């Protein structure tokens, strides 16, 4: 006895098979793509590290800037035992970073890419390869900032509404 499928069952089977093929292709692509960061120039680099509570939107390969000049790239990101992000970045040899410098995650405009900005300190000693910044500033999350602005506006509007209602009820009492 030969089994036959309805048109709906055949369609569902084809869609399911297509979805499975697409998912397998995505996994294969991720498995075979290379995730190491390579520099376009052949100069020498040394690595520094920084710990951040949040790195929202910062990607591997992001620029590292000192006084607005590109001096390196983010090459690795991992979590420590306290769930802080530990970023490793390559700095071009020849650029020395004072030990009291800070690293901040900033963006180039409201919707721009995020990058690391190094604010140099005044110390006469410099960070050595594989040393870590003592001072860091986490990424600012635009959505949280917008939510705060909206909640401040709502609170202000609510206060004004309460004042108008109180004034109106006082007028009615007379």
* Tens digits of residue pLDDT in 8-17: 988 988 999 9
Amino acid 48: pLDDT: 92
Best CA proximity match to 140, nearest among 43, 19, 56: 56
Task: Look at residue 14 and give its three-state secondary structure.
Answer: helix
How much is the pTM? Answer: 0.59
Q: Which residue numbers in the chain have pLDDT < 50?
A: none
Euclidean distance between CA atoms 155 and 150, whole angstroms: 9
> What's CA 2's distance to the chain center, in Å?
57
Amino acid 47: pLDDT: 92
Direct distance between the N- and C-terminal alpha carbons of the chain, in angstroms, rounded to an integer: 93
- How many residues in the chain? 174
Amino acid 87: pLDDT: 93
Task: Look at residue 167 and give its three-state secondary structure.
Answer: helix
Looking from the CA of 52 toward its CB, the CA atoms found within 13 Å total 23
CB-based contacts of 130: which residues, under 8 Å, 6+ apart? 46, 47, 48, 49
Euclidean distance between CA atoms 33 and 24, whole angstroms: 14
Best CA proximity match to 90, nearest among 68, 111, 110, 118: 118
Amino acid 106: pLDDT: 87
């Amino acid at each position: 006895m030969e089994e036959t499928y309805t048109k709906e069952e055949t369609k569902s089977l084809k869609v399911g098979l297509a979805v499975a093929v697409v998912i397998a292709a995505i996994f294969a692509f991720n498995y075979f793509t290379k995730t190491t960061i390579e520099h376009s120039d052949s100069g020498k680099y040394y690595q520094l590290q920084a710990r951040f509570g949040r790195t929202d939107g910062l990607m591997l390969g992001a620029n590292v800037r000192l006084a607005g000049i590109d001096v390196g790239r983010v090459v690795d990101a991992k979590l420590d035992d306290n769930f802080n992000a530990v970023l490793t970045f390559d700095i071009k040899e020849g650029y020395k970073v004072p030990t009291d410098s800070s690293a901040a995650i900033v963006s180039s405009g409201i919707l721009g890419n995020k990058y690391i900005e190094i604010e140099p300190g005044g110390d006469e000693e410099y960070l050595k390869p594989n040393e870590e910044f003592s001072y860091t500033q986490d990424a600012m999350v635009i959505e949280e900032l917008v939510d705060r602005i909206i909640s401040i506006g709502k609170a202000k509007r609510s206060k004004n509404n309460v004042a108008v209602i109180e004034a109106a009820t006082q007028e009615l009492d007379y």
